[in-house]
């Protein structure tokens, strides 16, 4: 059990379901509907990457048009769940709770990849800005005019990119 909600019990899973299949049985080790949806998303590429790299993060899932897209995915995957079982607010609220992540050639995305990339980019941008300020000060102290400095720094940026 990932969150405190009850597991999805009651009946055995639909063998035709390609996603979100119920485990059934008397003492299932399954999850609630919301956690099952989260587990599916965290382990499904490129859904996981899109959510993580979105500026909204998991809150992206609160947008009705995103939820509608997921309902379409559920239908096409013959999901063993109805859309009304999903409490999107809880999915978002519990997003960071631990989950089993299965990376594979079908799922190359690891949780945190997007965040790491964003952080790396931020540090890099900070370093570039710092470097640029330092270079500008140095060139000015040598009597180089701003137009020449701007031209030189923009050439440097092109090389970096």
Alpha helices (runs of H) in the chain, residue ranges in sequence order: 33-42, 47-53, 64-76, 88-93, 113-141, 146-160
99 near Zn ion, judged by CB under 5 A = no
Which residues make Cβ contacts (< 8 Å) with residue 128, sequence separation at least 6?
Answer: 157, 160
Instruction: Select 32 or 41, whichever has its Cβ closest to Zn ion.
Output: 32
- Between CA 107 and CA 80 the distance in angstroms is 22
- Determine the interface stretch with Zn ion among 12-20, 26-34, 77-85, 133-141 (rule: CB under 5 A): 26-34
- Between CA 41 and CA 43 the distance in angstroms is 5
Among 8, 20, 22, 35, binds Zn ion (CB under 5 A): 35
Counting other chains too, the contacts that 125-130 makes at CB distance below 8 Å and 24 or more residues apart are 128/157, 128/160
23 near Zn ion, judged by CB under 5 A = no
33 near Zn ion, judged by CB under 5 A = no
Q: What angle do CA 20, 109, 91 make, to 5 degrees?
A: 45
Instruction: Select 30 or 114, whichever has its Cβ closest to Zn ion.
Output: 30
- Determine the interface stretch with Zn ion among 27-35, 40-48, 109-117, 133-141 (rule: CB under 5 A): 27-35
36 near Zn ion, judged by CB under 5 A = no
In total, the chain counts a number of residues equal to: 161
90 near Zn ion, judged by CB under 5 A = no
Instruction: Select 32 or 86, whichever has its Cβ closest to Zn ion.
Output: 32
Residues that bind Zn ion in the complex, under the rule CB under 5 A: 2-3, 5, 31-32, 35
């Amino acid at each position: 059990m990932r969150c405190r909600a009850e597991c999805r019990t009651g009946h055995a899973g639909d063998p035709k379901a390609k996603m979100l299949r119920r485990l059934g049985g008397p003492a299932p080790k399954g999850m609630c509907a919301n956690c099952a949806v989260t587990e599916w998303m965290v382990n499904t590429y490129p859904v996981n990457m899109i959510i993580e790299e979105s500026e909204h993060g998991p809150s992206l899932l609160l947008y009705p048009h995103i939820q509608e897209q997921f309902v379409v995915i559920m239908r096409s995957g013959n999901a063993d769940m109805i859309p009304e079982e999903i409490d999107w607010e809880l999915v978002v609220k519990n997003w960071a709770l631990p989950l089993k992540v299965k990376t594979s050639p079908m799922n190359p995305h690891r949780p945190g990849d997007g965040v790491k990339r964003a952080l790396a980019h931020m540090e890099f941008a900070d370093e570039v800005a710092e470097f640029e300020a330092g270079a500008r000060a140095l060139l000015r102290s040598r009597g180089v005019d701003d137009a020449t400095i701007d031209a030189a720094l923009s050439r440097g940026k092109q090389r970096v990119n």
